[in-house]
Amino acid sequence: MSRVYIGMGTCGLASGAEQVKEAVSKWVYEKQAGIPITPTGCIGYCQAEPIIDVVTDSGHRISFGGVKPESVGGLLEQVFGDKSYASKGVLGQYRNGQAPLKNIAFIDEHPFFKKQRKFILRNCGVIEPTSIADYRATGGFKGLERALTMTPQQVVDEVLKSGLRGRGGGGFPTGKKWSLAQKEVSEKKYIICNADEGDPGAFMDRSLLESDPFAVLEGMIIAGYAIGAREGIIYCRAEYPLAIERLLECIEILKNEKILESKLNNDGFTLKMRIKKGAGAFVCGEETALMASIEGKRGMPKPRPPYPAVSGLFEKPTVINNVETLANVSAILREGAEAFASMGTAGSKGTKVFALTGKIENTGLVEVPMGITLREIIEEIGGGIQNGKKYKAVQIGGPSGGCIPAQHLDIQIDYETLKGVGAMMGSGGLVVMDEDTCMVDLARYFLSFITKESCGKCIPCREGTQRMYEILDSVVSPYSKMKNEEENLARFNMVMNLENLAQVIKDTSLCGLGQTSPNPVLSTLRFFRDEYEAHIYDRKCPARQCKGLLTYRIDTAKCTGCTACARKCPVSAIVGETKKAHYILDEKCTRCGTCADVCRFEAVQVS
Amino acid sequence: MQTEQKATEKEMIRKYPPSREYLIPILQEVQDHFGFLSRESIFAISDYLELPESKVYGVATFYNQFKLIPPGKYQIQLCRGTACHVKGSFNLLETLKRELDIEPGVTTKDGLFSLETVACIGACSIAPVLTVNGKFHGRLDTKSVEKIVKALREEGAKR
């Protein structure tokens, strides 16, 4: 019965899960305990990685967070030896139908998990990702079995009835997409899984593929059956090597299990599946660019219509669904459309996975029902802002989304409400920012990202975003040495045009990337206009982030002349004699902040 | 040696059917093997697929993954995703540029380090992060970055 599970997703591995696993195997070997060790995926509570779950002789599963290789021995000793279950690092116990262990709370009552509703992440961090037996034991392939008893039309209707909308960003109803492709008559159709999760700040697709790959593959097979596709392609980022490795392994298993490349029903429905590695281009998340990339071309979007459902990959009808959408499909077919539609709001059904990151206490992946408020996610699940700082905004939807300030924290999360406040669901990255984040700098950061990732096909996006970037760059840059009037005038001129330019880009770009690229600027302008004004009129950065607008100065009264700063300064911009007050040469200073870090007397002042 | 390399390259390319669809996988495999795409590789691929060199070059420069110069022994990738940015990855970039004395996309003269920035490596929960030859280092600050570079430099000097 005993078993040890170790969370070995990317975040677990990055936090040292490999060393923990070695320590566990060493302990098991030394004690000759014969306890099997099972690698599992990510449970979502990345903050507490490395996480190990220990299943006791009595079948109770207890989860421990923040495990270190050196503490493994003591921990296992306690669980299997004197059964005292160390309280340190215990996240909770799983429910298993037996009388619970005393003094240990249930894991689903842990503040991080309490408000969550695990619908598609239910297996993540719980089962062994590449074990088909584990997947079957949790109801895996029940959805596919049910789908095969229905006609393709009925499957499409079921998905339509559930109200599932695409989880990749656009929010287009999945059932509608399918029925368009299903109606097309063609000797070949494709189902593509979009796993090109380029959105900086989102990693739910990676986690799903690493932790529960079968759920995504099952969803793809169901989608293939519904639209009549014979070939499935997973377009996965090359930056996710672990996800690709696990997918390849699972595809092999499914071939051996006669699920892939075998006749699944009497009509002879079969599906082939392959993986296409992306090569690092954000724009390839866009459907038509993604297909161009699969065809071996540069990933540039095409005008629509024709929609991919009519003429897609190699000009054949193609359905492209996001990873999370497909995981939802297998769950909908398994649990039924009603169960899915019972969660969420009128227009947005089901659950949504968010990647909670930034300056928040608990970072990780959270799955919540649609309609939950942002405040619940940030304050209750996320545990509030780090180091007791003040909340400023949350950035949702990546480079296409917007920032939501404190006054809108109580909005419900669904597709329409988010659009109403100038943001969008996107793929669900939630980056929390505190008072130390400069919103102008953030907008500039997103624009620099877009200018790099713009494919260059249409002018508004290629040139427009570059100009917008230059405007914001001029806002955060110091005066040139001349400080002349003309330069000021030019800056004002540019700033006046910023909103206008943003609108033009929005209206005239070809694809979603371009059309949404001004959003970070527009939304920060809407809610944080005062910060822009402070940068432009007062030439000050209230959050002290924009280096160009900062000056470093040494308070002569506080400086003891310890020379620590002068020795550490990478550009030798600090002068002064030993035991006498030092001085910073402003022309040489690069505003790296090293002196402020090393000063023990708080003599370095930033303004 | 050179002829041998050419032979493996040829083999590698010929594994794939000569169709444009396989251009990106071929480029990926060649780069995996040699670490970068040389002029000769691009010529060989364009011959095999019967595509103009300009098209192959166009694809190779469009995608961030492909490198046209040899990478260093230690390939440092710094994540510049939103979460990392908010947590100060800009300062880490400055530190790395200063410590290694190179700009992103360049390899040091001694061939020890190459520096790259990537959009997001999906490890946002332990931001800010960088990877060295694929190995993750998370929750960094300028000091820990300096330490990593120092340790690598010592390790590299030993061999």
Are residues B105 and B152 both part of a single domain? yes
pTM of the predicted model as reported, rounded to 2 decimal places: 0.91
Are residues B80 and B52 both part of a single domain? no
Q: Residue A9 domain-assigned? A: yes
Residues 362-391 of A with CB under 8 A from B: 363-365
- pLDDT tens-digit profile of A410-436? 999 999 999 888 888 888 889 999 998
Confidence bin at A480 (pLDDT 50/70/90):
low
Identify whether the C-beta of residue A512 lies closer than 8 Å to the C-beta of residue A459: no
Q: Do B82 and A198 touch (CB under 8 A)?
A: no
B25-49 b/e with 16+ CB inside 10 Å = b? ebbbbbbeebbebbeebbebbbebb
Residue B132 phi, psi (nearest 5): -115, 115
| A202: contact with B, CB 8 A cutoff | yes
Are residues B144 and B82 both part of a single domain? yes
| Cα maximum dimension of chain A | 90
- Summary mean pLDDT of chain A: 90
Are residues B40 and B80 both part of a single domain? no
Q: Residue A238 domain-assigned? A: yes
In angstroms, the CA A548 to CA A528 distance is 20
Are residues B79 and B43 both part of a single domain? no
Are residues A569 and A513 both part of a single domain? no
| A15: contact with B, CB 8 A cutoff | yes
Are residues A537 and A572 both part of a single domain? no
In three-state secondary structure terms, A366 is: strand
Q: Residue B69 domain-assigned? A: no
Confidence bin at A474 (pLDDT 50/70/90):
confident
Are residues B80 and B46 both part of a single domain? no
Identify whether the C-beta of residue B76 lies closer than 8 Å to the C-beta of residue B113: yes
- DSSP for residue A185: -
Best residue in B51, B86, B142, B144 to probe A by mutation, most A CBs within 10 Å? Answer: B86
Q: Do B62 and A238 touch (CB under 8 A)?
A: no
Are residues B12 and B50 both part of a single domain? yes
Are residues B41 and B103 both part of a single domain? no
Q: Is the dihedral of CA B150, B153, B155, B158 positive or negative?
A: negative
Q: Residue A157 domain-assigned? A: yes
- Residue A597 sits in a domain of what CATH number? 3.30.70.20
Residues 394-453 of A with CB under 8 A from B: 395, 398, 429, 431, 433, 437, 442, 445-446, 449, 453
Q: Residue B67 domain-assigned? A: no
Give B5 or A386, the one with higher predicted confidence: A386
Of all residues in chain A, the percent with pLDDT exceeding 70 is 99
Are residues A178 and A106 both part of a single domain? no
| A43: contact with B, CB 8 A cutoff | no
- What is the reported pLDDT for A223? 96
Residue type, A128: E
In three-state secondary structure terms, A404 is: strand
Angle at B132 between CA B128 and CA B138, to 5 degrees: 25
Q: Do A294 and B21 touch (CB under 8 A)?
A: yes
Residue of A nearest to B122 (CA): A203
Q: Residue B82 domain-assigned? A: yes
- What is the reported pLDDT for B1? 47
Pair type for strands A351-358 and A318-322: unpaired
Residue matched to tokens 């931001």: B127
CB contacts < 8 A (A, B)? 146
Q: Residue A256 domain-assigned? A: yes
Q: What domain count does chain B have?
A: 2
Are residues B44 and B86 both part of a single domain? no
Q: How far is CA A605 from CA A380, A387, A564, in A?
A: 36, 22, 15
In angstroms, the CA B111 to CA B117 distance is 18
**List of chain A residues whose C-beta atoms are within 8 Å of the C-beta of residue B137:** 14
- Tokens at A271, concatenated: 């599906």
Are residues B87 and B154 both part of a single domain? yes
Identify whether the C-beta of residue A95 lies closer than 8 Å to the C-beta of residue A112: no
Best residue in B82, B87, B91, B100 to probe A by mutation, most A CBs within 10 Å? Answer: B82
My answer on whether omega of the bond before A69 falls inside 30° of 0, hence cis, is: no
- What is the reported pLDDT for A479? 65
A402: closest CA of chain B, how far (Å):
12
Q: Residue B83 domain-assigned? A: yes
Q: Do B122 and A197 touch (CB under 8 A)?
A: yes
Q: Residue A365 domain-assigned? A: no
- The Cβ of residue A530 has, within 10 Å, a number of other Cβ atoms equal to 10
Q: Do B122 and A203 touch (CB under 8 A)?
A: yes
- The Cβ of residue A266 has, within 10 Å, a number of other Cβ atoms equal to 7
Question: Residue A225 above 50 pLDDT?
Answer: yes
Where among A523, A542, A561 does a domain terminate? Answer: A542
Q: Do A363 and B125 touch (CB under 8 A)?
A: yes
Q: Do B124 and A294 touch (CB under 8 A)?
A: no
**List of chain B residues whose C-beta atoms are within 8 Å of the C-beta of residue A293:** 24
Q: Do B22 and A296 touch (CB under 8 A)?
A: yes
- What is the reported pLDDT for A86? 64
What does pLDDT average to in each consecutive run of 10 residues of chain B (159 residues)?
74 90 94 92 94 95 92 92 88 90 91 89 84 88 90 85
Are residues A181 and A206 both part of a single domain? yes
Q: Do B83 and A431 touch (CB under 8 A)?
A: yes
Q: Which residues on adjacent β-strands are paired with residue A398?
A: none
Are residues A522 and A382 both part of a single domain? yes
Count Cα neighbours of A74 within 13 Å in the Cβ-side half-sphere: 9
- pLDDT tens-digit profile of A21-60? 999 999 889 888 788 999 998 888 888 889 999 998 888 8
Q: Which residues on adjacent β-strands are paired with residue A366?
A: A354
Are residues A451 and A567 both part of a single domain? no
Q: Residue A379 domain-assigned? A: yes
Where among A496, A512, A542 does a domain terminate? Answer: A542
DSSP A196-247: ----TT--HHHHHHHH-HHHHHHHHHHHHHHHT-SEEEEEE-TT-HHHHHHH
Rounded to the nearest 10 degrees, the angle between the axes of helix A529-536 and helix A439-453 is 90
Q: Residue A245 domain-assigned? A: yes
Residue of A nearest to B138 (CA): A14
- Residue B46 sits in a domain of what CATH number? 1.10.10
- Residue B107 sits in a domain of what CATH number? 3.40.30.10
A148: closest CA of chain B, how far (Å):
32
| Neighbour-count burial of A131, counting CB atoms closer than 10 A to its CB (0-12 exposed, 13-18 middle, 19+ buried) | middle
Where among A519, A542, A565 does a domain terminate? Answer: A542
Closest by CA to A7, choosing from A28, A26, A24, A29, is: A24
Are residues A138 and A163 both part of a single domain? yes
- Tokens at A475, concatenated: 């806002």
Q: What domain count does chain A have?
A: 4
- What is the reported pLDDT for A215? 96
Are residues A536 and A582 both part of a single domain? no
- Residue A80 sits in a domain of what CATH number? 3.40.30.10
Closest by CA to B87, choosing from B114, B49, B125, is: B125
Which residues, 6 or more positions from A362, have their beta carbon under 8 angstroms from its beta carbon? A45, A47, A112, A356, A381, A382, A383
Are residues A31 and A81 both part of a single domain? yes
Residue A14 phi, psi (nearest 5): -65, -25
Q: Which residue range is the domain that position A30 belongs to? A: 3-114
Three-state secondary structure readout of A113-149 = HHCCCCCCCCCCCCCCCCCHHHHHHCCCCHHHHHHHH
The residue-averaged pLDDT of A254-276 equals 93
In angstroms, the CA A332 to CA A164 distance is 9
Q: Residue A559 domain-assigned? A: yes
Are residues B82 and B49 both part of a single domain? no
Confidence bin at A171 (pLDDT 50/70/90):
confident
In angstroms, the CA A118 to CA A116 distance is 6
Q: Do A10 and B136 touch (CB under 8 A)?
A: yes
Confidence bin at A520 (pLDDT 50/70/90):
very high
- What is the reported pLDDT for A482? 46
Q: Do A449 and B119 touch (CB under 8 A)?
A: yes
B39: closest CA of chain A, how far (Å):
19
Are residues A63 and A206 both part of a single domain? no
**List of chain B residues whose C-beta atoms are within 8 Å of the C-beta of residue A360:** none
Are residues A220 and A317 both part of a single domain? yes
Are residues A333 and A428 both part of a single domain? no
Where among B18, B42, B62 does a domain terminate? Answer: B62
Residue of B nearest to A241 (CA): B134
Question: Residue A484 above 80 pLDDT?
Answer: no
Best residue in B116, B117, B124 to probe A by mutation, most A CBs within 10 Å? Answer: B124
- Residue A156 sits in a domain of what CATH number? 3.40.50.11540
- pLDDT tens-digit profile of A551-586? 888 888 888 888 888 888 888 888 888 888 888 888
Are residues B18 and B55 both part of a single domain? yes
Which residues, 6 or more positions from B137, have their beta carbon under 8 angstroms from its beta carbon? A14, B129, B130, B131, B144, B148
A445: closest CA of chain B, how far (Å):
8
Q: Which residue range is the domain that position B54 belongs to? A: 2-62
Closest by CA to B67, choosing from B122, B137, B118, is: B118
